[in-house]
Amino acid sequence: MSGSAPAGQRPIAHVYDAAYAGVPNWDIGHPQRAFVQLVDAGLARSPVLDVGCGTGELSLFLARHGHDVLGIDLSPLAVRKAREKARWRRISAQFLVWDATDLAGLGDRGFSFRTVVDSAMFHILSATERDRFVAGLSDVIPSGGLYCVLGDARRDNRSIYGITPRELRQRFARANGWEVIFAFQTVFERQWSRNPAYFIGVQRQ
């Protein structure tokens, strides 16, 4: 799930359903390289939550590597496609239509995750939504758990779109009990382009 939305306005499910009626530019048919490296380094631990999972390529990659995975997305069509992929590929991964800014709701249902992965979801949120999402992570990630986000590098400081390591450090410092343990420059691949990006890992203390 990727793209930009007006500041202060939550992306609407039917907008993403329209995008997933075709093949969105960000749906490249395989996980972003940063997450492959995360798995290769042994930093992903089950159970894993994939926020803004889209049609499920990252979730399915993680499940194929032995992880217990739940993917969530606003778009019912994207989730339906992810479930179809899982069925046809015979991969055990679960998918749920859910708003990632309501992680507290997942916590209320008893869900807990040692790893939360975010492939270009956080970078589209408004400032208020980002704070709500960060606060919600504490409801589903126990001490020692890890949140890993890949997002376009912010190019314009007047815009909220995109991410920077400085912003993530500031937001999680305000939330208390979190530490940025890695942050590096990389790329976010799309079907027809490659954007400068950051890959950032934040651990709950």
Query: Is residue 41 in some structural domain?
Result: yes
Indicate if the alpha-carbon torsion angle 22, 49, 139, 165 is positive or negative. Answer: negative
pLDDT of residue 147: 98
- Name the residue range of residue 130's domain: 24-204
Query: Is residue 176 in some structural domain?
Result: yes
CA nearest neighbour of 186 among 201, 199, 205, 170: 199
pLDDT of residue 8: 38
Residues whose CB is less than 8 angstroms from the CB of residue 184 and which lie 6 or more positions away in sequence, other chains included: 198, 199
pLDDT of residue 11: 54
Phi-psi domain of 91 (left: phi exceeds 0; alpha: psi -120 through 50; beta: other) = beta
Query: Is residue 131 in some structural domain?
Result: yes
Q: Which amino acid is at 162?
A: G
Write phi, then psi, for 52 (nearest 5 degrees).
65, 50
Question: Cα 54 to the chain's mean position, in Å?
Answer: 9
Query: Is residue 12 in some structural domain?
Result: no
Tokens of 58: 């990252």
Compute the distance between CA of residue 48 and CA of residue 140 in angstroms, rounded to an integer.
10
Whether pTM exceeds 0.85: yes
Compute the distance between CA of residue 41 and CA of residue 196 in angstroms, rounded to an integer.
22
The total of structural domains in the chain comes to 1
User: From edge to edge, which strands make up the β-sheet containing 178-189?
Assistant: 94-97, 69-73, 48-51, 115-119, 146-152, 194-204, 178-189
Query: Is residue 4 in some structural domain?
Result: no
160 and 199 in contact (C-beta within 8 Å)?
no
Query: Is residue 178 in some structural domain?
Result: yes
pLDDT along the chain (205 residues), means of 10: 39 72 84 98 98 97 98 95 97 96 96 98 95 97 98 91 96 96 97 96 98
Compute the distance between CA of residue 46 and CA of residue 69 in angstroms, rounded to an integer.
7
Query: Is residue 140 in some structural domain?
Result: yes
Q: What is the CATH number of the domain that holds 165?
A: 3.40.50.150
E strand map for 29-176: 48-51, 69-73, 94-97, 115-119, 146-152
Tokens of 183: 């942050």
pLDDT of residue 3: 38
The position carrying tokens 């790893």 is 115
Compute the distance between CA of residue 36 and CA of residue 19 in angstroms, rounded to an integer.
25
Query: Is residue 19 in some structural domain?
Result: no
Q: Which amino acid is at 38?
A: L
Tokens of 38: 């995360």
